[in-house]
Amino acid sequence: MPEVTLDATHLQIRHQLEAQLLRLVQRIGDAAGDPKALPAGRLEAGAIKSALKRLDDGTYDQCSKCGKSIDERRLVALPTTTTCLRCSI
């Protein structure tokens, strides 16, 4: 697999996602006795891990439905999104 070079915005998003995942893992650990917290935490962790994988694969800014580019402003606002604005409606 070719190595993907990330631009400044994608690097910023990667750092944000990694920090968010770390905080989430800590929260899940703190809420281990609360059965309602675990499923939601797992879903959020899965979305973050998926976004990090797409960053690694070079497909982060591609819409999973139509294949077109996801606007950078949308990615900054919703870093785990998988769809462009048009496909999310």
Over residues 66-88, the pLDDT tens digits come to: 999 999 999 999 999 999 999 99
Give tens-digit pLDDT for 17-70.
999 999 988 887 776 666 666 777 888 999 999 999 999 999 999 999 999 999
Q: What is the pLDDT of residue 3?
A: 58
33 domain-assigned: yes
Domain total of the chain: 1
- Residue 11: its pLDDT value, please? 94
Flag whether 14 is in a domain.
yes
- CATH number for 61: 1.20.120.910
The answer to whether residue 2 scores a pLDDT higher than 60 is no
Residue 40 lies in a domain: yes
Q: What single letter denotes the amino acid at residue 15?
A: H
Q: Is residue 58 part of a domain?
A: yes
pLDDT of 26: 84
In a domain, residue 13? The reply is yes
Give the residue carrying structure tokens 């697999």. 1
